[in-house]
Structure 1
Amino acid sequence: MAAGLLAGVAWAELPTKQSNVGDSMSQGAIADGWPADRPELSWVQGTSSSVFSIFMRYRELVPSFTQQPESVSGAEMVGGSNNFAVQASRICAQEEKPQHVSVLLGANDVCNRPRSSSSDATANMYSLDTWVNALRAGLDQLAACLSPGATVHVLSFPRVDFLYAAGNAKSLYCSYVIWPAAGICRIVTAERNGGRRAQIGARINEYNAATRAEVDLYAANIDGRNPRGVRFVADWQGSLEEGFQNTSVGTYVFRASDLNGTDCFHPSVSAQRKLACAAWATNPDGAGVVGECFQ
């Protein structure tokens, strides 16, 4: 996303404050196995050196760097009382607006949908139109309230079919005891047919691709969507099936060691560190190669 997409906009050298939109992944939930939010272990807002979050990376560059997170466990892009639009409105209401906003939502939009009993495993999932409308509802607010040159970094979200495979490889106890008892993402964990889980993964690819397409429209100020000259950036390059494995958060194939041992679904501390590294690599203020983060 080059500055040339919006002629005349001077991007700020470095931000002095960040905020974020997200769910339990951004809250560091259960990262160390403790069944609660662990924001200090979050990829974006964490304060632990074991994660080296986006916050800490900026803090190294700008010692006075601050943050005011808005992520909430359980949040969706589309539905609920803490969806993207609601979290974006809270960011816009902050007395001091952030110059950098990270967005990572989507897993609950999939996991909160009931498993389909029809031949189409995605039958109960949100349509692409519903997804895009919810995305726009949040992006519109950020485009209208953030300062010119501020950055909105929208990350793709992981495929829950990959999380299923990693948890299944971690332990059969995860598959047959923990997931049924806790009701973890039953749209995939209760689905024993690999082909049907892949259908769900393909829909997630579609969500992530649609997100990138929309972010590009804001970046280029198409139809006047970005009149203040906010810098919009997305990490999605393409799907794993298209040859883009490990180029974004959404194309990482999680391993057993990447999941905590309590719910066998949320990222572990080491995986939160990988996510921080990948997010920094695609952040216009950051550096690195996404693929190297996932080695």
Structure 2
Amino acid sequence: MHRRPHLRTPLALGVVLASLVASTPAASADTGPRHVPAPARVAVLGDSISRGFDACSVLQDCPEVSWSTGSVPAVQSHLARIAALNPAVQPVNAAFTGARASALLPQARAAVQQGADYVEVLIGANDACAPSEAAMTPVATFRTQVASAFAALRGTRVFVASVPDVRKVWQVAHTTPAAALVWSTFGLCQSMLANPTSTAPADADRRARVRQRIQDYNTVLRQECAALPTCRYDHGTVFKTDYALADLSPIDYYHPSVSGQARLSANTWPETWKFQPVG
């Protein structure tokens, strides 16, 4: 969730994060059997959060600490938890740093082509974390892009994580001088993080509007997941998650650190399918 030259990336912890608007009618992402065999190939779609950006070294992806398909024991990724049930499971990390929802369809097609039978999705932080409010992805456009990608995943088990509440990044770190300096110097998520030390009404209102856009994206994700029979949504878990300064990268105070990735994995694991041992 980052355009490398300008460091425009959202935490998209986000580490790793309230509640969403009204429940969807009739269809629910919780319908159908939840206990299923552990998958053979796990894919993750999304942005720099799922690539572990800035968690290990400056301006570098670190996919080994990804909450979804990472291999570092400290993270206890979803892949590691599934491997305890199916040791032969293989990962596909189709996410890429800087991705918006517009990238979701090609990522979904790539995952399907590589034989993924379980796909995790964490997307939307870059759609909200734009150079300005005006540059945020319109909700209707976001819906069209998500719906197209989910259609390509029909027949595949899917888990959808909510978009992180990026205002919590500001709340946790804006009084840390190094964080305010990095955000301003490198233009990180200016729709939310511009004027980081200001609590003036105009800045507070802007942050509230960006947060509402994230909530609107999460409504779309919940509803589109509900329309897919083999999809489960995290019920806003990522959006609602609270975290400490240590859960943010000490490089940019924006992306999840290793502990932030671990928190993301632990908090979302109970929300996905209940996988059963293979064999």
TM-score normalized by structure 2?
0.81
Distance 1:86 1:64 in 2: 26
Query: Which amino acid is the alignment partner of residue 132 of structure 2?
Result: R
**Structure 1 residue aligned with 2:68, among 38, 41, 44?**
44
Distance 1:279 1:197 in 2: 25
Q: Are 2:139 and 1:128 equivalent residues in the alignment?
A: yes
Conserved 8 A contact 2:36-2:275: no
Closer/same/farther in 2, CA of residues 109 and 258 from structure 1, 3 Å limit:
same
Query: Which amino acid is the alignment partner of residue 61 of structure 2?
Result: D
Residue aligned with 1:236, SS = coil
Task: Name the structure 2 match of 1:203.
Answer: 213
What is the count of residue pairs matched by the alignment? Answer: 241
Q: Are 2:49 and 1:2 equivalent residues in the alignment?
A: no
Query: Which amino acid is the alignment partner of residue 211 of structure 2?
Result: G
Closer/same/farther in 2, CA of residues 17 and 36 from structure 1, 3 Å limit:
same
Closer/same/farther in 2, CA of residues 23 and 279 from structure 1, 3 Å limit:
same
Task: Name the structure 1 match of 2:262.
Answer: 273
**Structure 2 residue aligned with 1:182, among 170, 183, 186?**
186
Task: Name the structure 1 match of 2:160.
Answer: 154
Distance 1:285 1:98 in 2: 17
Conserved 8 A contact 1:259-1:266: yes
Conserved 8 A contact 2:191-2:206: no
Distance 1:236 1:217 in 2: 15
Distance 1:254 1:204 in 2: 18
Distance 2:131 2:256 in 1: 22
Shift of 1:58: 0.6
Task: Name the structure 2 match of 1:216.
Answer: 226
- 1:1-295 to 2 correspondence within 5 Å? 1-3=30-32, 12-78=36-102, 83-94=103-114, 97-111=115-129, 113-116=130-133, 123-143=134-154, 146=155, 150-169=156-175, 171-175=176-180, 177-191=181-195, 192=198, 193-219=203-229, 231-237=230-236, 248-285=237-274
Distance 1:162 1:188 in 2: 10
Distance 1:124 1:74 in 2: 14
TM-score normalized by structure 1?
0.77
Unaligned runs of 5+ in 1: 5-9, 117-122, 220-230, 238-247, 288-295
Residue aligned with 2:99, SS = coil
Shift of 1:32: 3.4
Query: Which amino acid is the alignment partner of residue 54 of structure 1?
Result: H
Task: Name the structure 2 match of 1:226.
Answer: none
Residue aligned with 2:216, SS = helix
Query: Which amino acid is the alignment partner of residue 2 of structure 1?
Result: T
Query: Which amino acid is the alignment partner of residue 185 of structure 2?
Result: A
Conserved 8 A contact 2:64-2:71: yes
CA RMSD, aligned part only?
A: 1.9
Shift of 1:158: 0.4
Shift of 1:151: 1.2
Distance 1:274 1:233 in 2: 19
Distance 2:78 2:159 in 1: 11
Shift of 1:167: 2.2
Conserved 8 A contact 1:27-1:72: yes
Distance 1:43 1:271 in 2: 9
Question: Which of structure 1's runs of 4+ aligned residues deviate more than 6 A?
Answer: none
- Which of these two proteins has the greater Rg computed from alpha carbons? 1
Segment of structure 1 superposing worse, 58-67 or 10-19: 10-19
Closer/same/farther in 2, CA of residues 75 and 103 from structure 1, 3 Å limit:
same
Q: Identity of paired residues, percent?
A: 28
